Chains A and B, each alone.
Chain A
């Protein structure tokens, strides 16, 4: 197979369509993440959707353009930050119990059920999981795409 096929980018039509589509996919993924406690979806689904936008960027613009935009240390740090935010939200109500939803019982996020700020720590946990899934999947995809075939 052609070894340089991923390093070069696609044609004009694909790149223009990707420029128009990537923000839409990103906004829809952010909607799925942030409304995870109201509508179907959540952290993993929204994170996988945004990672799909990242894969579209990788396929449309090529690996060379992806290497300029992709920072390995930033993505690794953000993945750790997502896990830490999840753990921190779980330990907020540690005075009562682990995973005690203190942001809903006596916190700011105790709105009427059905509204956006009505689930305590759940939207924050969804954001953390979405960030972690997105950065992890993008790191894995870029690592696989940058893998070079060894010489026999």
Chain B
């Protein structure tokens, strides 16, 4: 398998994963599940940055998206409710 076909296959899988995880993040009613979907979205986006040869952005995206925002959202959910409230 040469590099171009491998590159294209990775791109297709990354695009599908991004769309699916983003749709899951806004469709889930449980907020903890939505935060986990956002963490998966950040992980796949970091992989996409790495494939597009931007390792600097990939490190920033992985560190901030996987660790900091997830912990921050979970701490915020802990102080409120973990179910979506429709008013």
A interface vs B, CB < 8 Å? 1, 5-6, 32, 40-42, 44-45, 48-49, 51-52, 55, 59, 137, 140-141, 144-145, 147-149
Contact A147 B79, CB 8 Å, known A40-B55, A51-B68, A52-B67: yes
Asked if A55 contacts B59 (CB within 8 A), the reply is no
Cβ contacts under 8 Å, A59 to chain B: 71
Contact A48 B56, CB 8 Å, known A55-B71, A144-B75, A147-B79: no
- B72 is an interface residue with CB less than 8 A from chain A: yes
- Cα–Cα distance between A140 and B58 once the two chains are bound (Å): 23
Cβ contacts under 8 Å, B58 to chain A: 40
Q: Which residue of B lies closest to A149 (CB)?
A: B79
Asked if A55 contacts B78 (CB within 8 A), the reply is no
- Cα–Cα distance between A6 and B82 once the two chains are bound (Å): 16
- Cα–Cα distance between A72 and B59 once the two chains are bound (Å): 28
Asked if A41 contacts B56 (CB within 8 A), the reply is yes
DSSP class of A's interface residues: helix, strand, loop or mixed? helix
**A-facing residues in B46-77 (Cβ within 8 Å):** 55-56, 58-60, 63-64, 67-68, 71-72, 75-76
Asked if B64 contacts A48 (CB within 8 A), the reply is yes
**A-facing residues in B21-40 (Cβ within 8 Å):** none
For the complex formed, measure the closest distance between the CB of A46 and the CB atoms of chain B, giving whole angstroms. Answer: 9
Asked if B56 contacts A40 (CB within 8 A), the reply is yes
Q: Which residue of A lies closest to B70 (CB)?
A: A55
Asked if A45 contacts B72 (CB within 8 A), the reply is no
Asked if A141 contacts B71 (CB within 8 A), the reply is yes
Asked if A52 contacts B59 (CB within 8 A), the reply is no
Cβ contacts under 8 Å, A148 to chain B: 79
For the complex formed, measure the closest distance between the CB of B38 and the CB atoms of chain A, giving whole angstroms. Answer: 17
Asked if A42 contacts B72 (CB within 8 A), the reply is no
Asked if B56 contacts A145 (CB within 8 A), the reply is no
Q: Which residue of B lies closest to A144 (CB)?
A: B75
